[in-house]
Amino acid sequence: MKNRKIQQRIVGLTAILLIATAWAFTKKSKSETVTDQTKPNIIIILTDDQGYGDVGFTGCKDIPTPNIDRIAKNGVVFTNGYVSYAVCAPSRAGLMTGRYQDRFGYSRNPLYRPFDATIGLPLTEQTLPELLKQNGYNTMGIGKWHLGVHQQFRPWNRGFNEFFGFLGGGHRYLPEEYTIAQQDSAKNEAESYRTKLIRNNTVVEEREYLTDALSREAVSFIERNKQQPFFLYLAYNAPHAPLQATPKYLSRFEHIKNPKRKTYAAMVSAVDDGVGAVLDKLQQLQLTENTIVIFLSDNGGPENDNGSDNGPLRGGKGSLFEGGIKVPFAMQWPKQIKANTQYDQPVISLDIFVTIASNIGKSSSPKNQLDGVNLLPYLQSKQQGSPHAYLFWRQFDQKNYAVLHQSGFKEVILKDSVFNLYNLKAEIDEKTNVDDKNLLNSFEQQRRKWEALTIAPIFYGLNQEEIYEREKKAAPQK
């Protein structure tokens, strides 16, 4: 009897210990989950060929962008925000790697060649989603890729758990025009605009206007990943040509009489609706406070082509004057950045990678040397001065260069022979050439040091198709 009581006590104590252990384990697991959830969610919203003057927070009057402007009001506007190149693909290569794309030869818009393993973002380059995936993030790319069509370069092989969109440099917006069934069936860039959309490697029979479809997928991804850290790269192709909009959006702009500008405005408005749906979903799920949302365009607007407006800036897409490389750029992270902040020092899209990598924990470091800077200490006034002493641009084929100094002086070199110097703080429109040979010499010394770190382009670009085909035919067959 006595032994039985002892056994009962032992069993009872064992049960208590097991319950306590289970409780402790559960508590620890919850604690670890909370720790994981302290990592910020990250959303990069990238538009295509949007003019500097075509959002409310840069002064646009004829195209309301209330939702894009919410990002600016909730956080910081970079009044001197730049991208690393003046056309689509090289700019995206810089954004996705945090490195000047000239370091690894991605200095042209690539040809659309699905079976050429030499045309794409080199595998030596670590992408932002690859880094984030290593750090426990679920990653999704939506929309335009433009960083390689060959299988090894496709988004799901470069760090994205999920992808929805298209692989080339642009696309048509109306589903009835998606007449090419497979991405690999398109023979060139023009044909790629008519391919059906894909979800990873699977063809999608899309029914919605393209911009709406991309927004829908973004909201769905956020909903499905509300319990874990996520990275969403929402790369709209709007308002890139072709200019196509639905009556729903066109009806908002009866006041715009220029047909090109009217359709462009409708396309921007569709993007703004999508941004609003994304921000609303974050708010509904109580994720706003600890989600980094970054908005920018990939380059300046080609005003004559798509009806965009670069405001007071000189030049546009394809130019190293301000209109080609200075873009609308805003970022919110309510947990870390005060609302209604304005930051006036020059920053560049390369800073996005470093800022994110510096604020997600220390379990995995970037693979390569990065050219950006962690902007958060500057935005929180913990660090003074300018993030960059100099910023650099190069157009290899045209032999054009630009160098921007933190003081606001900017050198623009055309055809490696015409040297111009502008004081952007005095004239944002780059009209007056400043005569200061000593300053120019100083800029040239810095430019040569930077260029020594770069290489020539590693593949032919869109305007070099004939050369590419000629060399391909002349090459010995393997």
Is 31 within 8 Å of 281 (Cβ atoms)?
Answer: no
Query: For residue 162, what are the β-bridge partners?
Result: 140
With CA atoms as reference, report the closest residue to 389 among 454, 449, 437, 429. 449
pLDDT of residue 20: 39
What's the whole-number mean pLDDT along residues 118-142?
Answer: 97
Strand 390-395 with 138-144, pairing: unpaired
Q: What is the mean pLDDT of the chain?
A: 92
**pLDDT per residue over 416-447, tens digit each?**
999 999 999 999 999 999 999 999 999 999 99
For the sheet with 390-395, list strands across it: 390-395, 400-405, 409-414, 418-423
Q: Give catalytic residue positions.
A: 88, 146
Q: Taken in order 446, 452, 458, 459, is the CA torsion positive or negative?
A: positive
d(C-alpha 200, C-alpha 190), whole Å? 22
**pLDDT per residue over 72-92, tens digit each?**
999 999 999 999 999 999 999
* DSSP class per residue in 371-427: -----HHHHTTSS-S-S-SEEEEEETTTTEEEEEETTSEEEEEETTTEEEEEETTT-
Least confident of 95-99, 233-237, 333-337, 470-474: 470-474
d(C-alpha 446, C-alpha 451), whole Å? 9
Domain 40-379, CATH: 3.40.720.10
Is 400 within 8 Å of 388 (Cβ atoms)?
Answer: no
pLDDT of residue 19: 36
pLDDT of residue 365: 85
Q: Residue 37: which pLDDT band, with cuts at 50, 70 and 90? A: low
| Torsions phi, psi for 421 (to 5 deg) | -135, 130
Is 89 within 8 Å of 108 (Cβ atoms)?
Answer: yes
| Torsions phi, psi for 398 (to 5 deg) | -85, -10
Residue type, position 100, single letter: Y
With CA atoms as reference, report the closest residue to 301 among 354, 259, 352, 243. 243
With CA atoms as reference, report the closest residue to 295 among 271, 263, 313. 271
Domain coordinates in residue numbering, the chain:
40-379
DSSP single-letter state for residue 256: -
Residues in the chain: 478
**pLDDT per residue over 216-262, tens digit each?**
999 999 999 999 999 999 999 999 999 999 999 999 999 999 999 99
Contacts of residue 472, defined as CB under 8 A and 6 or more positions apart, other chains included, come to none
pLDDT of residue 478: 57
Q: What is the pTM of this model?
A: 0.92
- pLDDT-above-70 percentage for the chain: 92
With CA atoms as reference, report the closest residue to 316 among 87, 68, 144, 100. 87
Would you say residue 4 has pLDDT above 70?
A: no
pLDDT of residue 363: 64
d(C-alpha 278, C-alpha 232), whole Å? 11
Is 211 within 8 Å of 238 (Cβ atoms)?
Answer: yes
**pLDDT per residue over 140-184, tens digit each?**
999 999 999 999 999 999 999 999 999 999 999 999 999 999 999
d(C-alpha 223, C-alpha 278), whole Å? 10
